[in-house]
Amino acid sequence: MPSTIEILQSLVNGVGVGLIYGLVGIGFCVIYNASGIVNFAQGVFVMLGGMFCQVLMSQLGLPIILAIAITVPLVALAGMAMELAIVRPMLHRGATLFAIILATLAAQIMIERITLLGFGDRPRTFPDFTPGGPLRVGEVAVGYQLFWILGCGALLVVALWLFFNRTRTGRALRACSQNREAAQLLGIPVARMMLVAFALSAGLGAIAGVLVTPTQYTAYNVGTPFGVSGFIAAIIGGFGRAGGALAGGLLLGVLQALAIVALGAGFKNVAALSVLLVVLMLFPNGLFAGFSLGARVHSK
Amino acid sequence: MALLSVDNVTKRFGGLVANQSISFDVGDNELLAVIGPNGAGKTTLFNLISGFFPPTSGTVRFDGRDITGQPSHKVAAAGLVRTYQLVQLFSQLTVAENVEIGSHRVTRGGVGGALFRPDWFRREERSVREGARELLHFVGLEGQADLPADKLPYGRQRLLEVARALAAKPRLLLLDEPAAGLNTQETEALADVITRIHRGGTTIILIEHDMSLVMKIAQRIVVLDFGKKIAEGTPAEIRAHPDVIAAYLGGTEVVDA
Amino acid sequence: MTSRVTTFTEPAALRWQSVSPAAGAAMLAVLGLLSSDYVTTVLGFAFIYAIFCTGLNFFMGYTGQASFGQSAFAAIGGYGSAILCTDLGWDPVLALFATMALSGVAAVIVGYPTLRLRGHYLAMATFALGLIVYEITIEWTSLTQGYMGYAGIPPLGIVGFELPTVKHQLVALVVLALFGVAVANRLRRSRFGRALAAIAGSEPAALALGIDVARYKLIAFVIAAIYASAAGSLFAHFVGFISPEVFGVTMVVQSFTMLYLGGIGTVWGPMIGAVIVSVLPEALRGLKEMQDIAYSAILILVLIFVPRGLAGLSSLFARFRRNTEPL
Ligand SMILES: Nc1ncnc2c1ncn2[C@@H]1O[C@H](COP(=O)(O)OP(=O)(O)OP(=O)(O)O)[C@@H](O)[C@H]1O
Ligand SMILES: [Mg+2]
């Protein structure tokens, strides 16, 4: 029987990683809203974020701030490349939904393997943003990085809100998500908005990756678990809603942390995936109506 | 006894009442038309009858059995076959294959038959193919049997949809605006096909906006407006009905005034 | 609509088309027999994948659904056969059938709730199923020996008679793959196959014609699972060793590459794709390390530029021939 301390400790850890899932989930939503596509390669951005940052720090000796400042735009560029090279031509040719999903999955594997070739399969990590810690509250240890995650998470949510409500581009993106044809008629450059969505989504993933790496590690293959967890977060939160995805991520993170206490670390992914299946089956059309996920992406 | 009886059926979508306490009967081998302005609730009524979704309240009886809320494939299997307002063909398959699929309801073969191909299975397959050819002839598509369905001109796609539904040998056929988007000749060809189906003994309910078509072929007409049945009767009665005239002239205010 | 459904009743004049791929497969087998054991092994993998993809094609090609987790059933077949034959001393053929039955039952149980999903949800749910089984094969070490993998699996045999060399086994695999294709072909050209095609074409229309869409989807899923399971078992016997990686995400992507390259929804496409995708990297030896990158790149290019696959190209060719015949 796990002790209260263990449970509290796992809850604290769960909140941290859950926020990360939430950020990845928001990344899913941003792309889905703009294009009607679920990008199965979403997790790869998290991996790239941690990986680039670590390499920049360890091999070029850059300070963390600089490393992050280079990493995030770099990963955003990777997102844009994915949109331009894969998604756009497929949409243009009226590809089926499953074909596009498959292509994004293939892109994920391709990026993973290239990373493997380039950087090897050694897990990598870098220290917390601020040295010291953990903070002790009674017997529960709270790492300083958790505060960074919470703080940056909150900042990002505010920034996203401002972006979607206060900027022209953000508002145009929202218009696309409500009705792409109408947005097109209003003169919104829908194609460019998709590029923005992929960049934004990839950037979010990269930030998530940078934030989470000090608490665990990054390796070429961490993308899939983060991607799947982010997707689960998005689904729990009612696909398409940023706030919901964040809440869903927190819930999932906590559930997963408890599962680790109860079942052991080995089965944490099985637990998360089972949550996914249960949520999908109880809410086969999503938790909120209005998002027809079964629809074809593009009809000629 | 009525083949189909719709009894006090209501369907709500949130606050919107798409069908409100609608009742009517359809007798054996009747040709009934359902008319009404756009958004009156005609397609909703078809969806309720064919089991596409269940009514909020009320019952639908087909051939003496309560079919309310049964899934649509069961309703169809019982002999109540519908077409859709928007053409729903198997667009990548050929015209003949579309009709062959229609015979699903009246054939038996499963995985076992397909694997071992016993005599009865071969006979069945042959009759499916021949039946499809006859039906294509019946609607005048025999020349296009091997064309992919989506290569047919629109008017002929509607005919194909009717032929496919006929392959299921329906006892009651529901046609949702089969003449929508057709030109005059095409509409005439379609009217001819519907009349011949009816004469062949099939009961039909037809939703249609084309008044001249309805008045020409329907035996009885049900009129919906804002989800309510406002009139029922023979074409002559309907033509003279004040509420119907008001509904079609735009707005019930005329009646209220 | 989609490009994955193709017409299922070939005109009699085109029957020869279905003879030539079979002859091609036989020729490949002979080639395999005359070459080094290495070539034989590569071809063996190709035909195992052909079986897997032929099954997947039922669900994705004929029925127009998607399963990103078919590897789960291959894992059931592979590990099932490994355990039954190695630890319990079962006859491989018996184990093959037993695991196929087990996979079928598992497919019914997971398929029943899962197949109500559509679109992205279906894709993600099936993907999750595959990942769950993958995680289990890693974590349940007492059963699967985890990352270490399961070694010492006996080669395939027919009631007591072992097939001693890879060459014998290749013959068996080719025969089985052709049998699998023949079964697929029979099922497709029937009332059952038409019902699947109807679902791929338009679910509302299928329902309105009395087709029990949920039931047929489930049957197609179960058939796909049974093929996948057989492929997994055959892999285990052919190589003698399995590990979780064999049935990982790579398997999914590889099989999709084969399916889309060969021509999804066609009878011979899966086998053609399986052979090409298996043999191609061997032809480009230097790519060894980059195999997965090459697979992914090929898949993406195929998805963008030839979504109907090579079989789609061959039908263009056929039409061309027919048109020129009267001359
Ligand atoms: N699934 C649904 N969900 C919500 N509202 C619906 C749904 N189906 C129909 N409605 C609404 O119910 C009303 C009746 O629609 P219905 O399609 O039955 O009309 P109709 O008489 O067939 O019109 P038309 O002649 O244009 O085909 C409309 O206001 C429509 O918006
Ligand atoms: Mg209508």
Encode pLDDT of C166-203 as tens digits: 777 888 899 899 999 999 999 999 999 999 999 999 99
For chain A, the residues whose C-beta falls within 8 A of a C-beta of chain C are 38, 40, 86, 89-90, 93, 95-103, 105-107, 109-110, 113-114, 117, 224, 228, 231, 235, 266-267, 269-270, 273-274, 276-277, 280-281, 284, 286, 293-296
CA distance C123 to A231: 12
- SS3 state of residue B37: coil
Query: Cβ–Cβ of C124/A276 closer than 8 Å?
Result: yes
Tally of domains in chain C: 1
pLDDT at C249: 82
Please choose, from the candidates C8, C1, C3, the residue with its C-alpha nearest in 3D space to the C-alpha of residue C197: C8
Q: End-to-end distance of chain C based on CA atoms, in angstroms?
A: 35
Other C-beta atoms closer than 10 Å to the C-beta of C303 total 26
Percent of chain A with pLDDT over 70: 93
Flag whether A touches C (3+ CB pairs, 8 A cutoff). Answer: yes
pLDDT at A51: 93
DSSP state of A154: H
pLDDT at B242: 87
Helices marked H in chain B: 42-49, 72-77, 95-102, 111-116, 119-139, 154-167, 184-199, 211-217, 235-240, 242-250, 253-256
Q: Residue written as tokens 């299922």?
A: C8
Whether the per-residue pLDDT at A82 is higher than 90: the answer is yes
Torsion of CA C144, C227, C24, C2, to 10 degrees: -120
Residue C304 in domain? no
Whether the per-residue pLDDT at A153 is higher than 50: the answer is yes
Please choose, from the candidates C172, C192, C188, the residue with its C-alpha nearest in 3D space to the C-alpha of residue C267: C188
pLDDT at C264: 86
Tell me: cis bond preceding A63? Omega within 30 of 0 counts.
no
Flag whether B touches A (3+ CB pairs, 8 A cutoff). Answer: no
Other C-beta atoms closer than 10 Å to the C-beta of A127 total 11
pLDDT at B162: 95
Select from C187, C189, C195 the Cβ nearest to the Cβ of B104: C195
- SS3 state of residue A278: helix
CA distance C114 to B9: 33
- The upper half-sphere exposure of residue A91, i.e. CA atoms within 13 Å in the direction of its Cβ, equals 17
Q: What one-letter code names the amino acid at C91?
A: D
Q: What one-letter code names the amino acid at B217?
A: I
* Mean pLDDT, range C76-99, rounded to an integer: 91
Question: What ligand 1 atom has the least distance to the C-alpha of B53?
Answer: 1
Q: What one-letter code names the amino acid at B148?
A: P
Segment C293-307, tens digit of pLDDT: 887 888 899 888 887
- SS3 state of residue B193: helix
- SS3 state of residue B4: strand
What would the two tokens of residue C222 be? 């179960």
Segment C237-258, tens digit of pLDDT: 998 889 888 898 888 888 988 8
Q: Give the CA angle between residues B237, B239, B242 to the nearest 5°.
A: 90
pLDDT at C33: 76
Residue C301 in domain? no
Q: How far is CA B59 from the centre of its chain?
A: 19
What would the two tokens of residue A279 be? 């949520």
Nearest Cα residue to atom 29 of ligand 1? B39
pLDDT at A291: 36
Please choose, from the candidates C204, C205, C201, C229, the residue with its C-alpha nearest in 3D space to the C-alpha of residue C7: C201
* Contact between C30 and C259 (Cβ < 8 Å): no
Kindly list the structural domains of chain A, giving each domain's residue range(s) and its CATH number in brackets, ordered by start.
4-282 (1.10.3470)
Query: What's the mean pLDDT when you consider all of chain C?
Result: 82
Q: Burial letters for C219-258: b for 16+ Cβ neighbours within 10 Å, e otherwise?
A: bbbbbbbbbbbbbbbbbbbbbeebbbebbbbbbbbbbbbb
Which residues of chain B fall short of a pLDDT of 70?
A: 249-257
Percent of chain C with pLDDT over 90: 34
* Contact between C54 and C227 (Cβ < 8 Å): yes
DSSP state of A218: B
> What radius of gyration do chain A's Cα atoms show?
19
CA dist A268 → A218, C69, C251 (Å) = 17, 19, 23
pLDDT level of residue C323 (50, 70, 90 thresholds) = very low
pLDDT at C218: 95
CA distance C24 to C56: 22
Length of chain C: 327
What would the two tokens of residue C283 be? 């032809």
Mutate to test the pocket of ligand 1, among B12, B22, B44 (most ligand atoms within 8 A of CB): B44
pLDDT at A300: 26
Residue C282 in domain? no
Structural domain span for residue C212: 21-275
Give me the residues paired with residue B224 across strands: B229
Query: What's the mean pLDDT when you consider all of chain B?
Result: 91
Q: End-to-end distance of chain B based on CA atoms, in angstroms?
A: 40
Query: Cβ–Cβ of A277/C128 closer than 8 Å?
Result: yes
CA distance A82 to C162: 50
* Mean pLDDT, range C47-65, rounded to an integer: 93
**CA–centroid distance, residue B162 to ligand 1 (Å):** 22
pLDDT at A272: 79
pLDDT level of residue A277 (50, 70, 90 thresholds) = confident
Domain spans of chain B, in order of start: 1-79+170-257, 93-165
Residues with Cβ within 8 Å of C320's Cβ and at least 6 positions away in sequence, in order, are none
pLDDT level of residue C18 (50, 70, 90 thresholds) = low
Q: What one-letter code names the amino acid at B23?
A: S
Please choose, from the candidates C56, C64, C4, the residue with its C-alpha nearest in 3D space to the C-alpha of residue B92: C4
Q: Which CATH architecture has domain B1-79+170-257?
A: 3-Layer(aba) Sandwich (3.40)
For chain C, the residues whose C-beta falls within 8 A of a C-beta of chain A are 2-4, 60, 66, 68, 113-114, 116-121, 123-125, 127-129, 131-132, 135-136, 138-139, 249-250, 252-253, 256-257, 260, 289-290, 292-293, 295-297, 299-300, 303-304, 307
- The upper half-sphere exposure of residue A161, i.e. CA atoms within 13 Å in the direction of its Cβ, equals 8
Output the pTM of the full model. 0.86
pLDDT at C314: 52
What phi and psi values does residue B80 have, to the nearest 5 degrees? -110, 100
- SS3 state of residue B229: strand
Segment B38-60, tens digit of pLDDT: 999 999 999 999 999 999 999 99
